[in-house]
């Protein structure tokens, strides 16, 4: 599979299907591409309703017909805006376009705006090429990360390290130990001054805490795993 980091918490996966996660693109100061340059996804995963995660998901879905998968409240909001969306909830799973998707808890808030509830913040575990990918969304560390690691043989974990609004470097390193992934990519840092972090510090701590290999991607970089 190919994995491209588009900054903040946005990733593009290309394997048997093209999956886009938290497409904060047009307003993202670190995103290296314009919205019109984005290839059409098959599935858009949205972890929660905040603008830096819901991002351009609705516009992309309306333009391409790609299905947004999100917690029930965010999915309903997207449908009312004219997007294609499938709702689900924490602990549940859905199979879409041959991709199995499981929704996890995340310790974070999720209002779409001051007047619209976005339900609960979430993460996702999904399968590609027989491998489990975990996108934690915006979250602090929580004990059930150990259970997620037990339930799924995590091949790649995408973890926030920005602090203030999510886990910081030290807690993300401990989360890596709990999840036991083969690879981990840090995310949700350096987009704005308040979440400025050094990913090399995370690499050092996470590789000391666990057997995982830390991959640090700059926005726009792509790797094949």
How much is the pLDDT for 145?
A: 98
Q: CA 129 to CA 143: how far, in whole Å?
A: 28
Q: CA 43 to CA 52: how far, in whole Å?
A: 18
Q: CA 148 to CA 153: how far, in whole Å?
A: 9
How much is the pLDDT for 55?
A: 98
How much is the pLDDT for 225?
A: 96
How much is the pLDDT for 213?
A: 98
Q: Enumerate residue ranges in the chain where pLDDT < 50.
A: none
How much is the pLDDT for 115?
A: 87
How much is the pLDDT for 114?
A: 84
What is the per-residue DSSP string for 70-81?
A: EEHHHHHHHHHT
* Secondary structure letter of residue 116 according to DSSP: B
């Amino acid at each position: 599979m190919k994995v491209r980091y588009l900054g903040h918490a946005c990733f593009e996966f290309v394997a048997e299907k093209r999956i886009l996660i938290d497409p904060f693109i047009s307003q993202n100061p670190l995103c290296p591409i314009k919205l019109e340059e984005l290839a059409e996804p098959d599935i858009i995963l949205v972890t929660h309703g905040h603008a830096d995660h819901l991002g351009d998901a609705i516009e992309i879905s309306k333009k391409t017909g790609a299905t947004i998968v999100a917690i029930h409240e965010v999915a309903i909001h997207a449908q009312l805006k004219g997007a294609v969306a499938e709702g689900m909830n924490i602990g549940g799973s859905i199979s879409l376009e041959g991709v199995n998707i499981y929704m996890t808890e995340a310790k974070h808030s999720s209002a779409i705006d001051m007047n619209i509830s976005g339900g609960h913040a979430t993460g996702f575990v999904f399968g590609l090429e027989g491998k489990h990918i975990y996108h934690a969304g915006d979250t602090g560390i929580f004990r059930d990360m150990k259970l997620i690691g037990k339930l799924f043989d995590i091949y790649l974990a995408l973890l926030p390290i920005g602090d203030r609004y999510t886990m910081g470097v030290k807690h993300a390193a401990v989360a890596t130990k709990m999840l036991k992934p083969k690879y981990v990519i840090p995310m949700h840092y350096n987009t704005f001054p308040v979440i400025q972090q050094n990913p090399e510090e995370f690499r050092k701590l996470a590789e000391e805490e666990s057997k995982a290999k830390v991959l640090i991607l700059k926005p726009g970089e792509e790797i094949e795993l």
